[in-house]
Amino acid sequence: MKKIIDRFVSYVTIDTQSDPASESTPSTEKQWILARKLAHELDQMGMSEVSIDDNGYIMATLPSNTDQEVPVIGFIAHYDTSPDFSGTNVKPRIIENYDGGDITLNKSKNIVLSPDYFEDLKLYEGQTLIVTDGTTLLGADDKAGITEIMAAMDHLIQHPEIKHGKIRVGFTPDEEIGRGAHKFDVDKFGAKWAYTMDGSQVGELEYENFNAAHALVSTKGKSVHPGSAKGKLVNAIGVLNEFMTALPKKEVPENTEGREGFYHIYKIKGEIEAGELEMIIRDHDLEEFKKRKEFLMGLGEQLNKKYPGAIEVEIKDQYFNMREKIEPVFHIVDIARKAMEALQIEPIITPIRGGTDGSQLSYMGLPCPNIFAGGHNFHGKYEYVPVESMEKAMAVILKICELTATHDFKN
Pick the catalytic residue from 19, 80, 204, 383: 80
pLDDT of residue 367: 97
User: Phi and psi at residue 159, in whole multiples of 5°?
Assistant: -130, 75
Domains and CATH numbers, the chain: 2-208+322-406 (3.40.630.10), 211-319 (3.30.70.360)
Which of 225, 224, 223, 220 is closest to 236 using CA atoms? 220
pLDDT of residue 408: 74
Q: Please confirm, yes or no, whether 116 is among the known catalytic residues.
A: no
Say whether 182 sits in a helix, a strand or coil.
Answer: coil
Laid out side by side, the sheet with 73-78 consists of 48-52, 58-62, 167-172, 73-78, 193-199, 370-372, 205-206
pTM recorded for the entire structure: 0.88
Q: Please confirm, yes or no, whether 80 is among the known catalytic residues.
A: yes
Q: For residue 176, give Cα distances in angstroms to 17, 20, 25, 97, 179.
A: 9, 9, 13, 32, 7
pLDDT of residue 13: 97
Could you tell me the mean pLDDT of each successive run of 10 residues in the chain, 411 residues long?
95 96 96 98 98 97 95 97 93 96 95 95 96 96 97 97 97 92 96 96 95 95 90 92 96 94 95 95 96 97 95 94 95 97 96 86 96 94 97 98 86 57
Q: For residue 190, give Cα distances in angstroms to 65, 369, 401.
A: 18, 17, 16
Pick the catalytic residue from 15, 154, 175, 198: 175
